Structure 1
Amino acid sequence: MKAAVLREVGKPLQIEDVQISKPGPREVLIRTAAAGVCHSDLHYIEGSYPVALPTVLGHESAGVVEAVGSDVRTVKPGDHVITCLSAYCGHCEYCLTGRLSLCVSPEMQRGEEDEPRLTQGATAMPQYLNLSSFAEQMLIHEHACVSIRKDMPLDRAALIGCAVTTGVGAVIHTAGVRPGETVAVIGCGGIGLSAINGAAIAGAGRIIAIDRVRGKENFARAFGATDFVCAEDGDFGRTVLEMTKGGVHHAFEAIGLTATVEQAFRILRRGGTATILGMIPVGQKISLSGAAFLGEKKLQGSLMGSNRFPVDMPRLVDFYMAGKLKLDDMISNRIRLDQVNEAFDEMKRGELARSVIVFDS
């Protein structure tokens, strides 16, 4: 099969032939229909996070089940599925207490003594984030995907595999935004727009979108923002504090920069919560005023929107089909696999929401 391979940090992906194994007892072979190009993949390309090389990138995807292992019970051949990088074992402390996204059990991967899922010739290739979806096929554990209704377009379903689950989930699960509360979202990429959409679904009274690209305003308002602040105009923190007469109930940072994380905390009102969605590069630290915590302000992280994806993703599909989830406008470009490097270049310029690789059926 054809796949986009990262061989060296800082270098473009290469389209190469990669061999894929047959499903083991708990595994599912999926024909990839679509894969979103996510900023998280760029972090690994640029070396902000470590990754074993060479590897096939991609983790936001949807497709059709081609074959299943002997013990698979959750999906069957012909099912349309969304994948999720937060594969879960189902029996550890995190899983048993409903925090599936925090599961770190190694049993969803093959053991060192087993045949690898991906190879090139005689060389094993490590699987990226349990998925490696920049490829024509995926071989994954059954607890890394969920079946969805077949009338859902798969290019839009792919977005639910990461950006939407992360953004909407952070609003609803991690932060617990309540009707009437004020929300600020810093960064209007795929995850930020999803957080805006999630805040609108949750009934937030005022949703302030913040981005350095002025052209993102129309995007943000289409997804539910009531206000837009261009960060290029000056101190956006001061602007938000003045607009809200003291700060917001919830701030969501969807970029992954220490400066914007610190600003997210700064723009909170007393008792407010800042939730960090962006991936801050390894080794970077955050500096906050200790006295601010006396106002019961909180800073918290969110991993993949604190999801329970086997339940959440089919519900998000229903939201889209009911017109509540704005996925059509999130796809800026539909591209071929061999255009993936161009998509990352466009991402760096910050001018689009999401490029989606669409594979031939």
Structure 2
Amino acid sequence: MEQKARAVICREINQPVVVEEITVEAPRRGEVMIKLAACGVCHSDLSATNGTIPFPVPLILGHEGAGTVVAVGEGVNDYKVGDHVVSSFVSMCGKCRYCQTGRPQLCDQANKAMTTLPDGTLRTRDMNGAPLNVFSGCGVMAEYATLHTDNVVKVDQQMPLDKAALIGCGVMTGVGAAVNTAKVDPGSIAVVFGCGGVGLNAIQGCAIAGARMIVAVDTSDAKLEMARQFGATHVVNSKSEENAVKAILKLTEGGADYAFECVGLGDIAAQAYGVLRKGGTAVVVGVASPKDTTSIRTATLTFGEKTLTGSYFGSARPREDFPRLIGLYRAHRLKLDELITRTYSIGEAPQAFADMQAGRNARGVIVFD
């Protein structure tokens, strides 16, 4: 079953995205075809369009999608037509040492599925027959997509798909950084740098974990106000402070137990480390440019027993964590509806990217007919 579909494509770096009709091939062994219901417009997609993430073009964007299985390939037993699924931008083989030790977000196979399916081939072509790369093995900013089952997670049929889509990246990355990576303790103090989609989810992850004080840091008063809705108890506009680190150390009366960098800048990572008290942990969540660096005073690692670590995909175990997040949403403990600032049709994708770059949205979501 070959399927024509409209898709959002990056044709040239630092140029607006385009919407084109493409052809999506039928699933092969171990694969499924999905009819997308919704796809979040994530900052990582923007990073691919401006070269921060060096993916080859032409590239079908989108890795935060949810939809319905419409076809299954040979050997697929765990999925059937009609199943609701969310994409995972990390391909999980289930066999490597990382998958076997409960760290599938670091799966070796994921490196083989950055712009293709895990076997190195593609199921997507433009109308001239030229192959189209896909973002992180997904390319789900399209009406239809064929993915390997290693990039798919089944979710409850009752879960609204436009909300479920957000779990596939931004929510998992932010909440997971707090709950899985940092393992925030109840009653602790946390600081979150950057109040975009991932940062807001790191904030609500800290709130879910029971942090008593959560300081949101950003340069936008509008984003800081939104941060309060997601659990921030205090806010700091770093543009208004001569020295944001000193201001936060004073506010927290000596420093934070946890700090999260959700921007993707080495200097901000250093600030996150700088606001820690002894024994504190700084978690770098944002995706920085490959040439970006972070500088800290090495001796403070020893004398203060501080930790500087990274968090990829919220240290996710998607097949365990996605259903858990859905459960928190249903229990009214996880905010998803409030994350969606605006929905767009696929034809409005260029505007969605412009709005994201301008910082207008917590999360924009493309909703397919």
Interval of TM-score (by shorter of Structure 1 and Structure 2): over 0.9
- 1:211 Cα offset (Å): 1.0
Change (3 A) 1:69 1:18: same
Q: Which amino acid aligns with 1:60?
A: E
SS of match in other structure, 1:98: coil
Q: Within 5 A, what are the aligned runs for 1:153-164? A: 153-164=160-171
Whether the aligned pair in 2 keeps the contact of 1:110 and 1:117 (CA below 8 Å) is: no
- 1:238 Cα offset (Å): 1.1
Q: Which amino acid aligns with 1:244?
A: T
SS of match in other structure, 2:239: helix
Whether the aligned pair in 1 keeps the contact of 2:91 and 2:118 (CA below 8 Å) is: no
Q: What CA distance in whole angstroms lies between the structure 2 residues aligned with 1:163 and 1:132?
A: 16
Equivalent residue number for residue 16 of structure 1: 20
Whether the aligned pair in 2 keeps the contact of 1:337 and 1:359 (CA below 8 Å) is: yes
Q: Within 5 A, what are the aligned runs for 1:125-144? A: 125-144=132-151
Q: Which runs of 5+ in 2 are unaligned?
A: none
Which deviates more, 244-253 or 103-112? 103-112
- 1:53 Cα offset (Å): 1.2
Equivalent residue number for residue 109 of structure 1: 117
Equivalent residue number for residue 209 of structure 1: 216
* 1:280 paired to 2:284: no
* Alignment TM-score, normalising by the size of structure 1: 0.96
From 294, 301, 306, give the equivalent of 2:310.
301
Query: In percent, how many aligned pairs have the same letter?
Result: 42
* 1:252 paired to 2:260: yes
Equivalent residue number for residue 335 of structure 1: 344
Equivalent residue number for residue 27 of structure 1: 31
Q: Deviations over 1:209-243 (max 9, x none)?
A: 11110112331111111111111211221111001
Q: Which amino acid aligns with 1:140?
A: L
Equivalent residue number for residue 246 of structure 2: 238
Whether the aligned pair in 2 keeps the contact of 1:30 and 1:138 (CA below 8 Å) is: yes
Q: Deviations over 1:163-216 (max 9, x none)?
A: 000011111111111111111111111100111111111111111111110112
* 1:84 paired to 2:93: no
Whether the aligned pair in 2 keeps the contact of 1:188 and 1:216 (CA below 8 Å) is: yes
Which deviates more, 338-347 or 254-263? 338-347
Q: What CA distance in whole angstroms lies between the structure 1 residues aligned with 2:108 and 2:252?
A: 40
Q: What CA distance in whole angstroms lies between the structure 2 residues aligned with 1:206 and 1:98?
A: 30
* 1:178 paired to 2:178: no
Equivalent residue number for residue 4 of structure 1: 8
Q: Deviations over 1:240-270 (max 9, x none)?
A: 1001111100000101112211100000001
Instruction: State the Cα RMSD in Å.
Output: 1.3
SS of match in other structure, 2:134: coil
- 1:283 Cα offset (Å): 0.9
Equivalent residue number for residue 290 of structure 1: 298
Which deviates more, 338-347 or 315-324? 338-347
Q: Which amino acid aligns with 1:340?
A: A
From 42, 54, 57, give the equivalent of 1:53.
57
Whether the aligned pair in 2 keeps the contact of 1:117 and 1:127 (CA below 8 Å) is: no
- Following TM superposition, where does structure 1 have runs of at least 4 consecutive aligned residues deviating by more than 6 angstroms? none
Q: What CA distance in whole angstroms lies between the structure 1 residues aligned with 2:231 and 2:129?
A: 51
Q: Which amino acid aligns with 2:245?
A: G
Change (3 A) 1:238 1:103: same
Q: What CA distance in whole angstroms lies between the structure 1 residues aligned with 2:351 and 2:266?
A: 27
Q: What CA distance in whole angstroms lies between the structure 2 residues aligned with 1:75 and 1:8?
A: 36
Question: How many residue pairs were aligned?
Answer: 358
Whether the aligned pair in 2 keeps the contact of 1:213 and 1:351 (CA below 8 Å) is: no
- 1:110 Cα offset (Å): 5.2
SS of match in other structure, 1:215: helix
Q: Which amino acid aligns with 1:241?
A: L
Q: Which runs of 5+ in 1 are unaligned?
A: none
SS of match in other structure, 1:129: helix
- 1:45 Cα offset (Å): 0.6
Equivalent residue number for residue 356 of structure 1: 365
Whether the aligned pair in 2 keeps the contact of 1:74 and 1:146 (CA below 8 Å) is: no
Q: Deviations over 1:322-360 (max 9, x none)?
A: 101011110000001121221222222223201000000
Equivalent residue number for residue 99 of structure 1: 103
Which deviates more, 339-348 or 190-199? 339-348
Q: What CA distance in whole angstroms lies between the structure 2 residues aligned with 1:273 and 1:280?
A: 19
SS of match in other structure, 2:131: strand
* 1:311 paired to 2:315: no
Q: What CA distance in whole angstroms lies between the structure 1 residues aligned with 2:10 and 2:285?
A: 24
SS of match in other structure, 2:296: coil
Change (3 A) 1:306 1:110: closer
Equivalent residue number for residue 68 of structure 1: 72
Whether the aligned pair in 2 keeps the contact of 1:88 and 1:100 (CA below 8 Å) is: yes
